Structure 1
Amino acid sequence: MDRASLDQIDQKIFAELTRNARVSHAELATKVLLSRNAVRQRIDRMERHGLIQGYTIVTGPSGQVPVSAFLMVYRKDRVRGADVITVLRSIPEVVLCDVVSGDFDLLLRVEARSLARIQEIWEQVAALPGVTNTVTAMTLSSVVRRDPIGVTGME
């Protein structure tokens, strides 16, 4: 068993555990629309197959993200491309997804723990049926990073 062989529910569970290894089975169950027991069984299976090999504490400055990238996504149909956006909303490392004007349709900011995870996300996005092409730009450094001030209506 490898990450590519996981179904969508297992991928969501895995992503939630990657983001917060202490999340309760009850909370996971709510997020993936399964019972607590079903979530526990899926986690147990991932542990048995070696996908989850342990739980650890990672220390470091709060909010520090080691790797980030921008993905520019070209969709087949700009008007009816909601399926792509639905999948993007389910990927916890996608911290920004804007519909933009110009040559490409969506601008994503992806923040992950490793370059390998960025690549996994890129492969997942590029393989979506509604995506025709992607362009990726790795972030070398962030010189300005702030929350919007005085802007209402932001999600």
Structure 2
Amino acid sequence: MDKMDQDLLAALTRDGRASLSDLAALLGVSRATVRTRIDKMQARGDIAGFTVLTKADLAQAAVRGLMMLAISGPGAERVRRRLVGLIAVQAVHSTNGKWDLIVELGTETLEELDRVLFDIRRMEGVETSETSLLLTTQTGARRR
């Protein structure tokens, strides 16, 4: 998977209903190129399907946490791709400093969160992790 495929996959992850024209404009390529690349990613299994998010899907999970990950070697991008495919993962942030990735998690139970944490820790390339549960959240005014 090259950089264009990764950019296309990221765009589709953000908006799975984006038109070929919009994706082509975003990536600076033709609609035919976008269509061909999507077809190839589906054939390889990089894209397993498309889904719909409902209003309920966007509601806050009962149990939320932040998992900070240190990745060994050059595997951060591979780990990030695996993480964004997990249902409990709400966002993956790359960062500088001690941690390579910060993962926002949301589950309905502590037991479910525990299983997700275990699965993430077992991923190839994950060297160490630290997880904090989110107890309360306050948001500031949104900028326009």
Q: Which runs of 5+ in 2 are unaligned?
A: 1-46, 50-55
Find the aligned partners of 2:84 and 2:114 in 1 and give their Cα distance: 17
Runs of 4+ aligned residues of structure 1 deviating over 6 Å after TM superposition are none
Structure 1 residues 32 and 91 mapped into 2: Cα distance closer, same or farther (>3 Å)?
Answer: same
Looking at structure 1, the residues matched to 61 and 80 of structure 2 have their Cα atoms a distance apart, in angstroms, of 23
Corresponding position of 1:70: 66
Q: CA deviation at 1:32?
A: 3.2
Q: RMSD across aligned C-alpha pairs, in angstroms? A: 2.3
- Structure 1 position 102, deviation (Å): 0.4
Q: TM-score, normalised by structure 1?
A: 0.52
Report the TM-score, using the length of structure 2 for normalisation. 0.56
Distance of 2:128 and 2:103 partners within structure 1: 13
Q: In structure 2, what is the Cα distance between the partners aligned to 1:125 and 1:145?
A: 31
- The corresponding residue for 1:121 is 116
Deviations 1:105-146 (A, max 9, x none): 000110111111111111011001110001000011112278
Structure 1: which 5+ residue stretches go unaligned? 1-30, 34-59, 151-155
Q: Secondary structure at 2:68's aligned position in 1?
A: strand
- Overall identity of the aligned pairs, in %: 15
Question: How many residues are treated as equivalent by the alignment?
Answer: 91
Confirm or deny: 8 A CA contact 2:75 2:125 kept in the other structure: no
1:92 Cα offset (Å): 1.7
Check if 1:32 corresponds to 2:27: no
